[in-house]
Amino acid sequence: MKKKPMVKIVTLVIFAMIFTSPMMYADNIAIGATVSLISSGGHAGGATGASHLADGNYGTYDQVYNPSAIWEFDLHQAQTVDSLVYVGMNNGTSRYLFTDYEVLYKSASNQWEQIVYETGNTSFQKTSTFSAVTGRYFRFHVIHENWGDPAWLEFELYEATQVPEPTSVILYAAPIRHQKSKIDP
């Protein structure tokens, strides 16, 4: 009688170790800002108004008849900011893209200083990061827009916080030998 070869069952147990980054972004601190159109040009008929650029709602927008419009955002108190998001309007039929724009803030010395200068943008939602600045007033200036009447959904400002965010994983595998099962001879 032939002996059947013994079947050994081996399982790998995987342990994961997660390392974290010290930085993660907090809530949009531009929500609730007072927003003013400071350049000339009237608002388009369907636009919901400048205040909706800082309401956290991508279903509202502002549009003006001025190809180089400037909006000013008053945060009501000085905030330290190191990134921003511009959200353009792309509803499938209307695609308003700000290809060239700049963002400025009013510094402690009461001067407008540029923190972002974007040229050749091809994204309807663009994140920009920069060295942290502290200011109460921020301006968004459209330099060039693809249709000539700037329309957009939201302006977001963020401040870095010390909340960990997973960034990498290291896997360890260790073999574990099972005892003979009932199917083993």
Fill in the DSSP letter of residue 50: G
* 20-168: CATH architecture: Sandwich (2.60)
Indicate yes or no: pTM above 0.85: no
**Per-residue pLDDT, 57:** 93
Stronger pLDDT, 6 or 108, i.e. the higher one:
108
**How far, in Å, CA of 19 to CA of 21, rounded?**
7
Radius of gyration of the chain (CA): 27
**Distance separating the N- and C-terminal Cα atoms of the chain:** 13
pLDDT (tens digit, 9 = 90+) per residue, 141-161?
999 988 878 889 999 999 866
Name beta bridge partners: 133.
81
Domain residue ranges in the chain: 20-168
> Given pLDDT bands bounded at 50, 70 and 90, which one contains residue 165?
very low
| Across 29-33, 112-116, 166-170, least confident range | 166-170
Residue 101 in contact with residue 143, Cβ under 8 Å?
yes
Output the average pLDDT for the chain.
78
Tell me: pLDDT of 82 over 90: yes
